[in-house]
Amino acid sequence: MKTLISFVVLMVLSFNIYAQQSLEISAMLGYTVHDLDKLIEKDEISNTYATDWNEFSYGISVQYIYASLEKIALGGELDYQYLYWYSVKIPYGTSPIYRTYEVGTVRLVPFLRLGSGNFFSFDIGPEINLLNGLNPGLMASGNINIPVTEKLEIPVKARMDLFNNIVLTVPVTLNVGVRLKL
């Protein structure tokens, strides 16, 4: 294990020699795909059912590219994403109880960018969702980078995250932002 950690540290340090660093801030809008009935079945008492819900998703993301070569880059991301809300009716004698849940997550994502420096690139990486504990997941996005100046770009991304929060949860978003090359 020590050998593997040492190898990874040396790779990142040697990768950093040729670094073109950048900072990116993006807004995200989209839709969260999940099985609401199964979520309620697993998370609530029996005979509870959904009365209203909305899977509209939005959030904000900050990415930092800290190491890059001509076509490959390494980076990290911190984001917050509001995923969905739902209301349930819980049977309780003659007067039922109504509860509303709002679900969002903070994510940490180390990622690999393929096609770095091109008009089109692709990001992929494992993610840690801080939602009801730690939930591992996977992030993938296809990116179009629109240059404005030598140091400024407008990234537009089609993104999908995949993680398990009681049930499989898949937010699909369109991200638009600004990237500053440092």
- The percentage of residues in the chain with a pLDDT greater than 70, rounded to a whole number, is 90
- pLDDT of 2 over the 70 cut: no
Q: Which phi and psi (to 5°) does residue 91 adopt?
A: -65, 130
What SS3 class is residue 46? coil
Residue type, 7: F
Instruction: Kindly indicate the confidence band of residue 4, based on its pLDDT and cuts at 50, 70 and 90.
Output: very low
Q: Where are the domains of the chain?
A: 19-181
- Give the residue-averaged pLDDT of 132-137: 90
Residue 123: what pLDDT?
96
Mean pLDDT, the chain, as a whole number?
88
What SS3 class is residue 135? strand
- pLDDT of 6 over the 60 cut: no
Distances (CA, A) of 64 to 3, 22, 68: 27, 6, 11
| Segments in 1-151 forming alpha helices (H) | 2-16, 36-43
- Give the residue-averaged pLDDT of 123-147: 94
User: What is the domain class of 19-181 according to CATH?
Assistant: mainly beta
Tokens of 35: 């099985």
pTM, rounded to two decimals: 0.83
Residue 36 neighbours by CB under 8 Å, 6+ apart? 50, 53, 86
- Angle among Cα 82, 56, 98 to the nearest 5 degrees reads 80
pLDDT digits (tens, 9 = 90+) for 16-71: 445 679 999 999 999 999 999 888 888 777 888 888 999 999 999 999 999 877 78
- Nearest partner of 111 among 149, 62, 39, judged by Cα: 62
Q: What gap in Å lies between CA 108 and CA 54, rounded to an integer?
A: 25
